[in-house]
Amino acid sequence: MPNENPEQPPVYSGASSQWRVPGPQAVSGPPAPGPVAGPPTSPPTTPHWTAGPPRSTTLPPTQTGSYPPVPPSGPPPFAQTLNGGPIPQPTPVPDATYAVTSKSGSIRSALIGALVGAVVAGLLVAAGLWDRPVATTTGAITNVTTQSRPTATIPGKSLDLRSILDKVGPSVVSIHTGSSRGEAAGSGVIINKDGLILTNAHVIEGASAINVEFIDGRSAQATLVGAVEARDVALIKVEGVSGLKAADLGSSSDLQVGDDVVAIGNALNLGDTPSVTTGIVSALGRSLQSPTGYLLTALIQTDAAINPGNSGGPLVNSAGQVVGINTAILADAQNIGFSLSIDSIKSIIEDVAAGREVNLERPLLGVESLDVAYLDSQVISRFEIDVTSGAFIQRVTADSGAEKAGLQAGDVVTEVDGRSIRSASDLTKRIGEKKPGDKVEISFERSGKSKTATATLGGQ
């Protein structure tokens, strides 16, 4: 990442201490599911996370959101047999590591980021700007196959940036935090007229003071309403500020590859007005292991430039609706950024705003799957697979919704609730949009025949 001041290279904020949610009861959940990966086409490379130092906080007593890190990966490829032959297994994804060193009174965190599937080289960093030295480590990411359709735009128009900015710009804020160890900058988006602001948890992590600057030049001190480290979501609030405009929260579930998107935020902390970049949705359903080992799922990948300082700012569609929260970038690569999909965090926003216990349970179908494209000819022949895309089921968890619905290893999932499934990542994305207890209709192929089943999702 280019830096105009080589003596103080930017270090991008990552999560390095507990992020908290107010309330009387501890939030807890079992380990997040390990990502399912296809065989890489080349040895894993080393993406690097860089992070700002953990900082102390003077916030009131709160409950700590607890969601254990992702467990080590499963068996090596071709470790299991079925009907007399091996079936493909997930390729292990590097586990997160955490190393801290001290330099001139500041702490540097070296962390791993990992995405699911085939490997692309690069540097994963949280998109918050820090005035501190850089630390690096390794990880791996994937390509995801998704079905594309014509770009969605405002009816009758091409992408109209001026209209989008007129609608969203007043709702975007710059966030500056301070502590005894230094200052940091990020972004946020106003979500109600009473001063509630959505941002990333890593933007305000450890802050003893939070200052918000509005597009009209006003500024105000903010207080932390609550934050959830396991989802990188935080809410802050300003009091006594009139005339605030709330952003329109859209739906990320309707996004498709190729749709126009706009990233807005306090890029590089350069000025009083937000920076704006445009691009498209490059992929959907990405999964990313956060610096502290939590699995962030249902991420939107975009080629709209997301720079340090953009963390917490909105990713908006061509109708000016917020569809994501800018979170991370892949440095040492051209225009690869990631945003939390708004649908995946809406319930968390509501719970945190209401002071309720946050349910971190994830929906669970109960299968491990692999892209049909990764299957060799022997597997295709043995299971009589005649489709060229879909999610091949490698294993079904005992007593899961999938098992109760009659799904078996060797089945190929082609649709969920009528929506096409072209890859294992598509299946993960569709299930990730649901809630534990939801019923889903699954279309699948078995031995060359089309079948359907209804499964009730569990939770984990």
Which residue type occupies 441?
Answer: E
Active-site residue, selected from the candidate residues 48, 171, 179, 202? 202
Question: Of 171, 174, 176, 232, which residue is the catalytic one?
Answer: 232
Planar angle of CA 243, 201, 320, nearest 5 degrees: 45
Among 394, 421, 420, smallest CA distance to 409 is for 394
Report CA torsion sign: 324, 326, 329, 335.
Answer: positive
Residue 263 vs residues 75, 185, 243, 300, 310: alpha-carbon distances, Å: 39, 16, 24, 12, 8
* DSSP, residue by residue, 94-154: PPP-EEEEEETTEEEEEE---BSSS----EEEES-EESS---------------B-PPP-S
Two structure tokens written together for 418: 């009528």
Residue 377 is a catalytic residue: no
Burial letters 272-294, b for 16+ CB under 10 A, else e: eebbbbbbbbbbbbbbbbbbbbb
Asked whether the beta carbons of 296 and 232 are under 8 A apart, the reply is: yes
**Alpha-carbon radius of gyration of the chain:** 22
176 in active site: no
Would you give the end-to-end CA distance of the chain in angstroms? 37
Catalytic residue at 232?
Answer: yes
Query: Reduced to 3 DSSP states, what percent helix, strand and coil does the chain have, rounded to the nearest 5?
Result: 10, 35, 50
Q: So which residues are the catalytic ones?
A: 202, 232, 311
